[in-house]
């Protein structure tokens, strides 16, 4: 870190003392090659732990080691090349020791040794957001929360019980300080301490190919003073995460990749400070966190656009928790490579499909007698084999087949959207895809 960056970080309340910076570039846990570019949008290839991911790429969310309603055969058939699993939930249940004994998440999930790459989050987001800590901003959802809208009943026709639907899964934070977070398990009340070292240790035990640093997702709204204090804590935790990751990689002889996360709330100067600090950690990739947390869409775009150029061009850029087709397009145009979001799977569980013409709500009475394919332009097995009328019937009847078919289709749509974006960048024709996406999915003001 240069002197100016150190001085700026110190003024922001950061901790430069004792930071361990690499004296020489360490062996990368990831290979990233940009193969084509149009404007700032780029097509590339990530090779991590022997697995190849073409970018821009969408990573389906498998919170508890499952993409809800889909099995391993579905994941293979869809061509999923990278998944996101949730460290917090898998730590609580079944436990990292259970997953490690199975040979890691890929084997545990039945995906085989040639299955997709797996990225695990740090667990911090769930602890903070589900607990409603600080009472600032909205309570943020994840895949274990009850579905919005009518949703689907249990197999016996009743509403899902808390154990099955995650209604009780709200950790109670007892302590938050430089060491880490102490919280009460929502399953049995035992006290659990989440530290940067423990988070990384659990992610390694789960067999993650990409390990995320422990950070604090700055809530919205947050004053500059609050965001600065949060950033100071985050930088200390990310430094310790990087050190523990390097130690475990060296100990095991593995080459798991490590991603750092840029935070700073809605304050561009803090985002710039965070990016400068994290560059010195020589991470394998850089994520942009703390967006899409309740802020107005116009503010979201301003922060995204000012933050994108701060991330190293030679590393993959990951926009966390985003989003709609329009949001993904907007970020691809600004040079982001990786995306994850629960939207396609959650919306499917509420009877909503993503199609080339826009969103389609199967609960609408107009589809009761509509015998056309769900999306006439889609080539997935659902659209080739079923009608809107049948899917609408399954949704209204609360049949789980409807949930499964809708989930499969929505993920197929997202994965095909990414393929179209990659091909358009290669052919320097991104504008044609952009026009189609924005016509079907207008950007929010």
325 φ, ψ to 5°? -55, -40
Whether 337 is a known active-site residue: answer no
Say which residues have a Cβ less than 8 Å from residue 182's Cβ, sequence separation at least 6: 173, 174, 175, 176, 191, 192, 193, 194
CB environment 223-232: b (16+ within 10 A), e (fewer): eeebbbbbbb
User: CB-based contacts of 264: which residues, under 8 Å, 6+ apart?
Assistant: 218, 227, 231, 270, 271, 272, 273, 274, 290
Which among 221, 191, 198, 188 has a CA at the least distance from the CA of 124? 198
How many C-beta atoms lie closer than 10 Å to residue 146's C-beta? 13
Catalytic residue among 113, 121, 142, 327: 121
Kindly list the strands in the beta sheet with 181-184, ordered across the sheet, starting from the edge strand earlier in the chain.
Answer: 172-176, 181-184, 191-194
Instruction: Look up 121 and say whether it is catalytic.
Output: yes
Q: How far apart are CA 127 and CA 129, in angstroms?
A: 6
Among residues 209, 215, 337, 340, the one annotated as catalytic is 340
End-to-end CA gap in the chain: 39
| Spatial CB neighbours of 398, under 8 Å, sequence gap ≥ 6 | 152, 153, 157
Active site residues: 121, 340
């Amino acid at each position: 870190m240069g002197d100016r960056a150190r001085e700026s970080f110190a003024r922001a309340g950061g901790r430069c003392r004792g930071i361990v910076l690499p004296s020489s570039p360490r062996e990368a846990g990831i290979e990233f090659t940009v193969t084509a570019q149009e404007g700032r949008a780029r097509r590339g290839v990530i090779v991590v732990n022997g697995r190849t991911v073409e970018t821009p790429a969408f990573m389906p969310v498998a919170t508890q080691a499952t993409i809800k309603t889909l099995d391993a055969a579905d994941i293979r058939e869809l061509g999923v090349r990278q998944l996101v699993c949730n460290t917090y939930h898998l730590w609580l249940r079944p436990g990292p020791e259970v997953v490690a004994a199975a040979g890691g998440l890929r084997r545990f999930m039945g995906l085989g040794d040639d299955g997709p790459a797996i990225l695990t989050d740090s667990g911090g987001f769930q602890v903070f957001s589900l607990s409603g800590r600080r009472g600032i901003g909205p309570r943020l959802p994840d895949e274990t929360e009850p579905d919005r809208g009518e949703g689907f009943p249990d197999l016996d026709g009743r509403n899902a019980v808390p154990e099955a639907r995650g209604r009780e899964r709200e950790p109670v934070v007892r302590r938050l300080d430089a060491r880490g977070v102490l919280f009460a398990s929502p399953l049995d009340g035992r006290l659990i301490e989440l530290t940067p070292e423990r988070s990384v240790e659990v992610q390694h035990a789960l067999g993650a190919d990409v390990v995320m640093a422990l950070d604090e997702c700055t809530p919205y709204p947050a004053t500059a003073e609050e965001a600065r204090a949060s950033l100071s804590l985050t930088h200390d935790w990310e430094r310790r995460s990087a050190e523990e990751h390097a130690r475990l990689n060296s100990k095991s002889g593995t080459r798991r990749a490590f991603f750092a996360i840029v935070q700073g709330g809605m304050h561009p100067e803090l985002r710039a400070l965070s990016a400068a600090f994290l560059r010195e950690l020589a991470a394998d990739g850089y994520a942009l966190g703390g967006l899409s947390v309740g802020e107005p869409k116009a503010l979201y775009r301003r922060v995204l656009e000012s933050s994108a150029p701060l991330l190293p061009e030679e590393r993959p850029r990951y926009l966390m928790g985003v989003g709609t087709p329009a949001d993904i397009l907007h970020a691809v145009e600004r040079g982001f490579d990786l995306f994850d979001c629960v939207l396609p799977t959650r919306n499917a569980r509420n009877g909503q499909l993503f199609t080339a013409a826009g969103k389609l709500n199967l609960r609408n009475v107009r589809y009761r007698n509509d015998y056309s394919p769900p999306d006439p332009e889609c080539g997935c097995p659902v659209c080739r084999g079923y009608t809107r009328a049948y899917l609408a019937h399954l949704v209204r009847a609360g049949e789980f087949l409807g949930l499964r078919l809708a989930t499969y289709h929505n993920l197929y749509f997202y994965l095909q959207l990414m393929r179209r974006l990659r091909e358009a960048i290669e052919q320097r024709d991104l504008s044609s895809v952009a026009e189609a996406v924005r016509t079907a999915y207008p950007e929010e003001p």
